[in-house]
Amino acid sequence: MTWIVLRFARGGRARYISHLDTARALQRTFARAGIPLAMSAGMRPKPRISLGLPLPVGVEGRDEVAAAEVTGDVTHPGELVERLREAAAEGLLPTAVELWPQRPRLDPVAARYECLTALDGTAAEAAVRAFGAAEEIFVERVSPKGRRMVDLKRLVTVDGARRAPEGWWMGFTVRHRADGAARPEEVVRWLLGGDAASPPAARIVRLGVEYTGVPVRPGSRESE
């Protein structure tokens, strides 16, 4: 048995499926590709596959990561990728398989995002400057446990704005700390000047996540 890191992209209609459904879709992809997954021990064995940081519903992923223990011949990762691509559902695109000597640790350190906005260049660059100049930026987070204030400045770095044919993209990095992390939609709402009651009117893409021992792939690209 061998542990692998599967890198894949999630887009199109697949960006609207949940974290659990994404895991199930990958399990079915392995099954259709004829690549057996190892099973856990116990009364109810389960496939030994786990995803990294959950990708929010509606957000595209350029370089997502799953760790899986597989059985059989895995000496040719390139061949496994081709088989998985042929078996993958629409919107899920396996991009690489990497062999690992032991189970990879998927503890997130930082995640890079871009959002496509309807702002013009002047407004986009002004929002980037305003974020950088602020000493603290508190947003209210409402959950079943109640309400609390989150300081985005402790958790987020806004990387800048760039022009593209379809509009202006704004990039930011969310740092994952022991006490939590910012949600990408919170950052986007602030940058666009919206309130907590309205969803961010933007396309959000996660470029990649750095994990403990599993860095962002050098091939991760800006959104197209």
Please state, in angstroms and rounded to a whole number, the distance separating the CA atoms of residues 187 and 115.
10
Does 108-211 match 2-100 at the fold level? yes
Please state, in angstroms and rounded to a whole number, the distance separating the CA atoms of residues 52 and 19.
10
Domain spans, the chain: 2-100, 108-211
Range in 16-30, 68-82, 99-113, 178-192 the model is least confident about:
68-82
CATH topology of domain 2-100: Alpha-Beta Plaits (3.30.70)
How do strand 146-151 and strand 138-143 relate by DSSP bridges? antiparallel
Q: For the residues 145-150, what does the mean pLDDT come to? A: 90
DSSP 3-state of 191: helix
Q: Which CATH class is domain 108-211?
A: alpha beta
Instruction: Give, in degrees to the nearest 5, the angle at Cα 52 between 48 and 53.
Output: 145
Calculate what percentage of the chain has a pLDDT beyond 90: 71
User: CB neighbours (10 Å) of residue 50?
Assistant: 15
Residues with Cβ within 8 Å of 140's Cβ and at least 6 positions away in sequence, in order, are 147, 148, 149, 150, 196
Please state, in angstroms and rounded to a whole number, the distance separating the CA atoms of residues 108 and 210.
6
pTM for this predicted structure = 0.90
The per-residue pLDDT for 1 is 78
Contact between residue 169 and residue 73 where contact means Cβ atoms under 8 Å apart: no
Inform me whether the pLDDT recorded for 162 exceeds 80: yes
